[in-house]
Structure 1
Amino acid sequence: MADDYREFVSARLEGFRRTAFLLCGDWHNADDLVSSALLKVLRHWRRVSAMDDPEAYVRRVLLRNLIDERRRPWRRESSWAWVPEQAVDPVDGPVTDRVAVVAALKQLPPRQRAAVVLRYFCDLSVEQTAAELGCSTGTVKSQTARALEGMRTAMSKPEGTRRG
């Protein structure tokens, strides 16, 4: 049991980390999400390994952990006493684009962010995304459309007015 679990995790760990990062926007929180998800999977590995798509199950656990975490009251508090200054001059190119996309993703509500990440990063179909999110295909389409519009709006704002 432990060997096939180790193989499963080692083959997919980086993909899970990237997915979690895109869902939450922070590498430290992403690592926490992945750790707690994989611990839950380990506890039920016999059942999970018998599933048709255990990787989809792990992504679903990642998403549920993120949503549960976002519901906690302390997450709604924010401090405005400290605002970071930009340490370096902005550069044009792929790095800037990636930073802008991640910042736009951070501004989305968790369900919209999950829809975009599953559809475009994990390359799932509308039907597969609906199954992982536990909703209808129409909901996936509307959440994705709203998310993309929100990202377009966020990315079209001048640099100094972006949140994130």
Structure 2
Amino acid sequence: MDVAMEQEHDVAANDFAAWAEARIASLLRFGYLVTGSQQAAEEAVQAALVRACERWGRISRTQDPDQYVRRMVVNGHVSAWRSSRRRESPVAEVRGTVAADPADTVARSDAVWRMCSGLPTQQRAAVVLRFYEDLDYPEIAAILDVAEPTVRSHVHRALAALRRELASQHAGEEEE
């Protein structure tokens, strides 16, 4: 009986390793967009994967293991942020004129994501899940473990904050 349990554990470990290897890049990108920091993303994803490995037998039987682990990443980041009670709010600088150059498009996109890093954690997570992961509101609500109207409110408030930030930057550019 011990041999059978050991073999079952080995199969689950191999299954998890294959799953994690296939998704690590996507999870790290997601983690970066949620946390706003490469280091914090790596820590959140690593912690989530450790917990997922320990519980893989149960997680692998869920309807969507990817969603479950993304939720673990978000929850881990929120918990770490709450325990540290410190927060960085980088200031985005967007200068110059808008050009058709692809490098400018990438720079603008990068500036928007930097502005997103200044949003409250739940708002940033909702925006990332909505516009980067292209999830609908019920899926986001499940990942963040909040009601769907709360998700809509987070996205609405985040977009309003981003509009205000862009408008203030645009006004600052016109004064120069």
Could you say whether these structures have the same fold, taking a TM-score greater than 0.5 normalized by the shorter chain as the test?
yes
* C-alpha deviation, 1:73, in angstroms: 3.6
Q: 2:107 aligned to 61, 82, 96, which one? A: 96
Partners of 2:26 and 2:125 lie apart in 1 by 15
Contact 1:90 1:96 in 2 (8 A): no
Structure 2 gaps, min length 5: 1-11, 99-103
Partners of 1:38 and 1:73 lie apart in 2 by 21
Aligned residues between the structures = 153
1:37-95 alpha-carbon deviations (Å, 9 max, x no partner): 1000001010011111000011110011111111124525x7xxxxxxx9xx9796123
Q: 1:67 aligned to 78, 85, 91, which one? A: 78
Contact 1:112 1:147 in 2 (8 A): yes
Highest relative contact order (Cα 8 Å, sep 6+), 1 or 2?
1
* C-alpha deviation, 1:155, in angstroms: 2.7
Aligned to 2:147: 136
Q: Which structure has the larger Rg over C-alpha atoms?
A: 2
Is 1:57 the counterpart of 2:68 in the alignment? yes
Relative to structure 2, which stretch is displaced further, 136-145 or 67-76? 67-76
Pairwise CA RMSD: 2.5
Partners of 1:136 and 1:34 lie apart in 2 by 24
Q: Secondary structure at the match of 1:108?
A: coil
Q: 1:38 aligned to 23, 28, 49, which one? A: 49
1:93-145 alpha-carbon deviations (Å, 9 max, x no partner): 12321221121111110110111111111111111111111111111111100
TM, length-normalised to structure 2:
0.78
Identity of aligned residues (%): 32
Aligned to 1:110: 121
